[in-house]
Homo-oligomer: A and B are copies of this chain.
Amino acid sequence: MHFQFKGSHADQSPNPWKTLSVRNAYENPWIRVEHRDVLNPAGGPGIYGVVHFKNTAIGIVPLDEEGYTWIVGQYRYTLERYSWEIPEGGGLVGSDLLEAARRELLEETGITARIWTPLLEMHTSNSVTNEYGIAYVAQDLELGKAQPEETEQLQVRRLPFSEVVDMVMRGEITDALSMIAILKANEWLRQGLL
């Protein structure tokens, strides 16, 4: 039930960058931005602005016995546009991410699930941020009443999972974590693994 990071250990090499200084440039409850003076891998001087995320991104692909899933629509302030996504939330780095996933799925869709399968790990944007994201497939579902947070204004839709795959393929879902989770879960379904 736990993630074990497997990325590229065989090829791991020592850090070719050198950090000369670190200064906190901005901080809020979700991110901390550090301005750093560095020497790049060639030894030349440079700067790096690193955006540290305080939360792990968590996505959930709920799948019921009829082959349906649920997606959530909300206006994304950063993009100034509406976005349809899998149920998602954040869990404090170091906290119980499965518990956070259960809470997010319940809040956004009203669903509780008995079977949780770790689906993927990813780094959203590794040239600037250290954000880390995971996703689960949730199965054996019980439906209840959604409990969205005050700051959220969500729409929820139940759709055949194959239709949500088509939305990714047609470019109608553009959230990275959603795209990866849907495409990878689809591959698992094709291979008979779910």
Contacts and interface: CB of A to CB of B under 8 A. Distances in A.
Interface of A: 5-8, 11-13, 15-17, 25-26, 28, 30-31, 33, 35, 38, 40-42, 44, 46-51, 53, 57, 73, 75-84, 90, 120-131, 133, 150-153, 155, 168-177, 179-180, 183-184, 186-187
A25 B13 CA distance: 34
A31 B26 CA distance: 13
B155 A78 contact: no
A50 B177 CA distance: 19
Nearest to A191: B169
Q: How many identical subunits does the complex contain?
A: 2
The 6 lowest CB-CB distance pairs between A and B, nearest first, are A41-B153, A183-B183, A40-B151, A25-B26, A176-B176, A124-B125
Nearest to A168: B184
A73 B123 CA distance: 15
B153 A16 contact: yes
A103 to B, nearest CB: 16
A130 B79 contact: yes
Contacts of A51: 31, 33, 51, 78, 128-129
A150 to B, nearest CB: 5
A35 to B, nearest CB: 7
Given A7-B172, A41-B152, 15 more contacts: A7-B83, A8-B73, A11-B82, A26-B26, A30-B128, A40-B150, A42-B153, A48-B77, A50-B77, A121-B174, A123-B174, A128-B131, A169-B187, A176-B177, A179-B184
